[in-house]
Amino acid sequence: MWSAAVMTAKLPLGSVSIKGRLILSYLVILLIGGLATSLVGSYIVSSTILMQVFRMADNTLATARNVYDQKLAAMQQAVHIGASGTTIPQRLQPSGAGPLRDYLLLIRRDAGFDFLNLTGPDGRVTVRSLRAGPAGDDVSGISVVKAALSGKVAASTEILSGEMLSSEDPALGGRARMRLESAPDAPGTPAREETCGMVLVAAAPVRDSRGAVAGVLYGGILLNRNFDIVDRVYDLIFKERDSQSRHSGNVSIFQGRHRIATTVATSNGGRALGTAVYSEVVPAVLHRGEEWRGRALVVDGWHISRYAPIRNLEGKPVGVLSAGLLESTYTETRNRVILSFFGLAMIGFFFIIGITYYMISNITRPIGEMVAATRSIAAGRFDQEVATSAHGEIELLANSFNTMLKSLRQMKADLEEWGRTLEQKVRDRTEELVAMQARVAHSERLASVGMLAAGVAHEINNPLGAILSLTALTLEDIPPGDPNRENLEEVVKQSERCRGIVKGLLDFSRQSKVSTELIQLNGIIEETLLLISKQSLFFNINVVKHLDPGLPPVTSDAAQFQQVFMNIFVNAAQAMKERGTLTIVTQHKAGEGVAEVRVTDTGHGIPPEQVDLIFYPFFTTKESSHGTGLGLSIAYGIVSSHGGTIDVHSEVGKGTTFIIRMPAGSGAPEKPVL
């Protein structure tokens, strides 16, 4: 038999089962979505952490700048206070040089100066605080001293020669002498020795009793190998963080392009003095006087750094103040976060795969059982039925298969019986065939009648239109008092009724084409209620209508919206178990530009956990024999495809309300519904 041949046909070699294809398709979608989400998440995490690192570098540099400026301000205040008053002018007499030096030494120790001197009005040193000895050095070339000779109090960063520093104190000249190395990103540059030093210098004018400038009190702090500023900033920002780990940040002061004070450590544990700044920083900071922020090579490691120029009194960049954070600290944090993110994603991935495999296995198990049953049928065994706990199409398919199997068993029994009583079976079969032919003929006649009714409905439309048109023209010529006018008006009324009946028949039987036009929702509701009011389902339903007469028309298909209201009304009647009140309210919300329909029943309601599921295909709260769960999903699709929305509010034990909102179209408002 041909059916046996079909049943014994096997799947092609290497083909994938339905379950495998479903799982594979879901895996592809999940992998693509998961990969895209992970990449976007990784980018956001990396960007956020990097932004925080840059912000930390900015804050560190701002702190270093404040400490640096406060140091200059304290020096300026110290020389200004020391030069004010009459103490120094009184001791300027030749006999007062010794006491004056003691006074200057006291100021130098209190303020922390490396040197503190007094000059005459010509800018030459008259008294040194560090040591007695030859004076007369001309320091008027120092910009802050020059400003003080003109009567101003000034403080700035200056570059002083090794000879000038040695004249102040030989130890200062030794501190300034430093071996300079090549830049880390430009190796091969010959090393050289630097003898000049970068000094914080403050100066204030000393005035005589007449107010004239009698000299200048100036002092300085050599920054070369002076770690007070960088260590203080480091302690403020990084000390607590680095108490149990390696250095995560750095602060440096550069003379020109080389470090003279820094917290950066070398491989042997010392400070990286004399090392050069990253080459890309030089043009921006030292040449153009701009700040620079970015990824920089610091000695032998990459840092997220911020660099700012240090200017002298004339505004010329003479050095660089920098702060930064070790890049590896940022990358380790970023990698930990991203790995944790991917780890959680993988756990979720495998969890979802397990659930998917379990669900798809349950869905496809009846299909596998049916395949096994077909093979048993091909082998001549008809006793293996398919049992399933699924609902929807799978249940229908299993029931149909079992029905088919029962029919096959019956057919087999019949064939065996026919083998014993062939003649009787032939007569019985002949009678069955005659009866079957009669039923087929009857069905064909019913189908023909249906087609004829649809055709007649189409054909009636034309003469009805002609009757209405001609009657309307005739009415225009008949005066209001004519006795025939009432009869003609009744003809028009009954013709319009016939046309409405034909239109309702065509719309509800789907014989008319789907078309989008301006429709009146109140009218569609009335037509739908008229169609269902004769059904026993609505005999004990009290229908309450509050239809807004000013409801504007909407652009949609009338037949489809009749189906929407039909599904909702029938669902409501079933929810009320054919007894209760169905309330229908329409209103025009002009502020939102929508026409709204509310359908409320007094049924048993929907549990909160199921409210979000009722528009899903095949989901139903009714028994399997009362529906397949497609009605509301179809209604949702129709309303959504026309640009509207459908919502539901429900309370268990009190009832359910469906809310349909459609964009209001242009046109006149509806006439009052009587």
What the chain holds in terms of domains, given with CATH numbers, is 15-370 (3.30.450.220), 422-512 (1.10.287.130), 515-674 (3.30.565.10)
pLDDT of 601: 94
Q: What is the dihedral of CA 387, 391, 394, 397, to 10 degrees?
A: 70
370 burial level (CB within 10 Å; 0-12, 13-18, 19+): buried
Q: How far apart are CA 610 and CA 630, in angstroms?
A: 15
pLDDT of 6: 39
263 burial level (CB within 10 Å; 0-12, 13-18, 19+): buried
**Model confidence over 615-662: pLDDT tens digits?**
776 677 766 545 556 678 788 888 888 889 999 999 998 899 999 999
Q: How far apart are CA 282 and CA 279, in angstroms?
A: 6
3-class secondary structure, 308? strand
Percent of the chain with pLDDT over 70: 80
Pick 138 or 371 by higher pLDDT: 138
Pick 505 or 560 by higher pLDDT: 560
Q: Kindly state the average pLDDT of the residues 469-487.
A: 80
Cβ atoms 575, 601 nearer than 8 A: yes
Average pLDDT, the chain: 79
Which candidate, 139, 131, 126, places its Cα nearest to that of 108? 131
Q: Kindly state the average pLDDT of the residues 403-420.
A: 76
What is the pTM (predicted TM-score) of this model?
A: 0.49
Q: Kindly state the average pLDDT of the residues 124-151.
A: 84
pLDDT above 80: residue 87: no
Edge to edge, the sheet with strand 580-589 lists 541-546, 580-589, 594-601, 655-663, 645-651
Dihedral angle sign, alpha carbons of residues 325, 328, 329, 333 = positive
Task: Note the residue count of the chain.
Answer: 674
Q: Kindly state the average pLDDT of the residues 279-295.
A: 91
Residue 299 CB partners (closer than 8 Å, separation 6+): 184, 264, 266, 272, 275
Q: What pairing do the DSSP bridges indicate for beta strands 580-589 and 541-546?
A: parallel
Q: Kindly state the average pLDDT of the residues 574-580.
A: 87
Q: How far apart are CA 234 and CA 237, in angstroms?
A: 5
Of the CA atoms within 13 Å of residue 134, those in its CB half-sphere come to 4
pLDDT of 445: 45
Most confident of 103-112, 423-432, 486-495, 497-506: 103-112
Tokens linked to 576: 């009320």
pLDDT above 60: residue 479: yes
Q: What angle do CA 430, 434, 439 make, to 5 degrees?
A: 145
Q: How far apart are CA 203 and CA 215, in angstroms?
A: 10
pLDDT of 600: 95
